[in-house]
Amino acid sequence: MYEAFQYKDGKLKRGLDTKQIEQALKDKHSLLWVDIQAHDDGDIAMLKDIFKLHPVTLEDCMMPNARPKLEKFKDYLFMIMFAIELHPEQKEEIKTVELDCCLGSNFILTMHADNLKSVTTIKSKIERQESVIADGVDFLLCSIVDTMVDNYFPIITMFDDRVDDVSDELFKEPTQQTLNKIYNLKNEILFLRRTVGPQADVISLMIRGGYEYVTTANIAYFRNVYDNLVRLNDIIGTSRDIITSALEAYTSVVSNRLNEIMKTLTVIATIMMPLTLIASIYGMNFKFMPELASEYGYPIAIGIMVAIAVVMLSYFKRKKWL
């Protein structure tokens, strides 16, 4: 399923069929944008027969890719970027949507499997303000990527806030659930870093120049996109360092708590040892034990036990073991 826009002589036309797309592509005075979502066989045939895409490009468009990249072909530039969006059902989980772009002298192709907020936003801008496409197809590509990167900020800020919440929880009442949160955040932040970092490298290649389909005037806009990606990468790097420190702090906090528990249990066991010894001696079933016949034997034994416990507690406190 595709949607096509043609801009020529200050007028915008949409809803082009394949024949009109072919004519617009041959017209060097028009600018053409074809957006393909969830491609089918007809879309692939159009890319092959009308746009003459290289077989390697067609393969990349049909198959999911793992990393962003930028490739130069004879008649176009091919770029792969990734949008980051929240999962529609589980709002705290993120997903990536691949965006494949082909940039030619007077056309731009965008291909994606799912709906993209950035593409929808630019389509709305084109309908309201034609200068988005009037400034060139390279500016249109930059606008799409810039909007996509801007959508990263609230998501990454949300993760940054979650990192702060886990750090606060860590020093209050850390539980096994806290550890699970730390591990989940660590994995998600690493995923974000693997996604954002390579995209900054792709845009860095773009702003170095040497690509005939990217005008010098519009390189500054790509540079702004690069700066935003670098900033996002720094935020993610800081969050990664914090969550790594939080994992180490969790281990330390749990270890200290265990030490406190063991110290308390050891003190109790140490105090009970002489009391248990006295009780066990007088609990033996021998007939001839002189203290058994004493009228005050029981209170004396209890008094000795209490005195031993008090002396031992005083000694532990003096040694600062309690």
- Print pLDDT tens along the chain (322 aa): 888 888 888 888 888 888 999 898 888 889 999 999 888 888 888 999 999 999 999 998 888 877 899 999 988 999 999 998 877 666 667 888 999 999 999 999 999 988 888 998 998 888 776 567 888 899 999 999 999 999 998 888 888 888 888 888 877 777 788 888 888 888 888 888 888 889 999 999 888 877 888 888 889 899 999 999 999 999 888 888 888 888 888 888 788 878 888 888 888 888 888 888 888 877 777 777 777 777 777 788 888 888 888 888 888 888 777 7
Tokens representing 30 are: 């028009």
Domain ranges of the chain: 2-253, 258-318
Q: In whole angstroms, give the CA distance from residue 243 to residue 237.
A: 10
pLDDT attached to residue 226: 94
What residues pair up with 83 in beta bridges, in sequence order?
97
Region of residue 9 (phi > 0: left; psi between -120 and 50: alpha; otherwise: beta): left
> Are 235 and 160 within 8 A, CB to CB?
yes
∠ CA 221-224-132, rounded to 5°: 35
pTM given for the model: 0.78
> Are 286 and 218 within 8 A, CB to CB?
no
pLDDT attached to residue 92: 66
The CATH class that applies to domain 2-253 reads alpha beta
Fold of 258-318: Methane Monooxygenase Hydroxylase; Chain G, domain 1 (1.20.58)
